[in-house]
Amino acid sequence: MSVGIVDLSEDLTETHPDDLPEEQVLPLDAWHRDCGARMVEFAGYQMPIQYTGPHGGIVAEHEWTRTHAGLFDVSHMGQLLLSGDGVDAAVEALLPIDLSTLKLGMQRYSLLLDENGGVLDDLMVSRWPNALYLVVNGATKWEDIAHLREHLPDNITLNHLQDRALLALQGPEAFQALERHVTGDYPLSALTFMRFGQFAIGDVEMTISRSGYTGEDGFEISLPADAAAQIATLLCAEPEVQPIGLGARDSLRLEAALPLYGHDLDTQVDPVSAGLQFALAKRRRESGGWMGHEAIMQILADGPATRRVGLVIEGRLPAREGALVFAGDAQIGRVTSGGFSPTLGYPIAMAYVTADHAADGAALQIEVRGRRLDARIAPMPFVPHNYYRGDAK
């Protein structure tokens, strides 16, 4: 879930605020530029890809987040609030989620599917008092909103929280940096992975979830847009925290093997091929009643034709999205995300390959710049997740 940029070496055009409509300039635009950000157009918005300074640059920002704490601006994502009588049943008609087990303060990953079982988007769903809070991808949020409005009953209210910003504080030192400032009815330490609560920093009220898109412990902070610069400045004044761009966010999520919509997921991909069966709740598989159910149950019964796999590549030349994957002379797949792993020191990629070539350890080749690079299928994630689960094992 969330945003990234797959190929960081090509086709990135630096932008200026005057280049895009005002409504597509995010609340922290000036703040990013003051911090030395290189801004690029992404999904219709101007976003920081990396920063200057002693800790700037994609690799340095990646390593800082893995060892300290990085602050990401993901305010381009859609924050939606659904409410009304029967909202659970209405949402369960569209998502394969079991909302009967989603209690107040809990968050869950889910999928918005079409009638053929293709993925329209991946998203987060949280149980708020008398409402469901959804975070959807920035590149698809307008299509998501249109889809929801078309298929939800008229009595369900959909509020697009356009006056909210969304910040992600990620890394092993994120907790200690954030804890110094937040107050609430219970301590920040009460939040474990995929839990959220209401907190404040000074007079700024915010919703904080313990979640993120880097594989590290961390938090996502929904707050009033007009307070975003104040809070970002406060957090980045802590010695553990540096602002981090989307370049490092992408390399971090790739190491964590987290799919990116529009690259690893789209309407031509089903959840089974993508390895996201965990998002298909057991009760909902049996009961059905959600869009795409019949098609996906058939795929579960027959087995998928392709599977998303992790690839480790020999040498130092990375394979980018679109690179073809071969078993001998036969083309058996295509890379959807790839890059050099700063943590591991060698190139990695995710690809869809035919199911009969998807076994761990299988030797394959990837065509890059007219060369065949040796690769092997490796377990995912490439770098272990470090989510905080409290006493849970």
Tokens of 387: 């989510």
Cis peptide before 153 (omega within 30 of 0): no
Q: What is the mean pLDDT of residues 25-39?
A: 96
pLDDT in tens, 156-208: 999 999 999 999 999 999 999 999 999 999 999 999 999 999 999 999 999 99
pLDDT in tens, 113-156: 999 999 999 999 999 999 999 999 999 999 999 999 999 999 99
Q: What is the mean pLDDT of residues 322-339?
A: 98
Residue 282 CB neighbours (<10 A): 10
Cα separation of 40 and 25, whole Å? 12
pLDDT attached to residue 25: 86
Catalogue all structural domains in the chain, each as residue range(s) with its CATH number.
17-73+163-255 (3.30.1360.120), 78-160 (3.30.70.1400), 305-378 (2.40.30.110)
Q: How confident is the model at residue 5 (pLDDT cuts 50, 70, 90)?
A: very low
> Partners of 265 in the beta sheet?
261
Residue 1's closest CA among 129, 96, 119, 80?
119
Q: How confident is the model at residue 258 (pLDDT cuts 50, 70, 90)?
A: very high
Question: What residues contact residue 198 under an 8 Å CB cut-off, 6+ apart?
Answer: 184, 185, 205, 206, 207, 208
Residue 145, CB-side half-sphere exposure with 13 Å CA sphere: 17
pLDDT in tens, 345-375: 999 999 999 999 999 999 999 999 999 999 9
pLDDT attached to residue 50: 98
Residue in the structure block whose two tokens are 């008398």: 130
> Partners of 200 in the beta sheet?
183, 205
pLDDT attached to residue 24: 77
pLDDT at 87 over 50: yes
For a pLDDT cut of 70, what percent of the chain falls above it?
A: 93
Q: Where are the beta strands (DSSP E) in 215-303?
A: 218-224, 241-243
Q: What is the mean pLDDT of residues 311-319?
A: 97
Tokens of 173: 């030192």
pLDDT attached to residue 54: 85
Q: How confident is the model at residue 42 (pLDDT cuts 50, 70, 90)?
A: confident
pLDDT in tens, 19-31: 444 457 899 999 9
Residue 218's closest CA among 252, 174, 188?
174
pLDDT in tens, 201-247: 999 999 999 999 999 999 999 999 999 999 999 999 999 999 999 99
pLDDT at 266 over 50: yes
Asked if residue 357 lies in contact with residue 333, where contact means CB atoms within 8 angstroms, the answer is: yes
Exposed e or buried b for every residue in 97-115, given b needs 16+ CB within 10 A? Answer: bbbeebeebebbbbbbbee
pTM of the model: 0.93
pLDDT attached to residue 1: 37
Q: How confident is the model at residue 10 (pLDDT cuts 50, 70, 90)?
A: very low
Cα separation of 226 and 211, whole Å? 23
Q: What is the mean pLDDT of residues 276-288?
A: 97
pLDDT attached to residue 20: 42
Residue 304's closest CA among 328, 274, 284, 329?
274
Question: What residues contact residue 302 under an 8 Å CB cut-off, 6+ apart?
Answer: none
Cα separation of 95 and 110, whole Å? 7
3-state SS class at 37:
strand
pLDDT attached to residue 74: 97
pLDDT attached to residue 11: 35
Residue 390 CB neighbours (<10 A): 12
Q: What is the mean pLDDT of residues 290-298?
A: 98
Cα separation of 331 and 365, whole Å? 9
The single-letter DSSP state of residue 273 is: T
Q: Which amino acid is at 284?
A: R
What does the angle CA 121 – CA 382 – CA 72 come to, to the nearest 5 degrees?
55
Q: How many helices (H) and strands (E) does the chain have?
A: 9, 20
Q: What is the mean pLDDT of residues 323-340?
A: 98
Residue in the structure block whose two tokens are 């994630």: 381
Q: How confident is the model at residue 15 (pLDDT cuts 50, 70, 90)?
A: very low
pLDDT attached to residue 109: 98
Q: Rounded mean pLDDT of the chain?
A: 93
pLDDT attached to residue 73: 98
Cα separation of 160 and 267, whole Å? 24
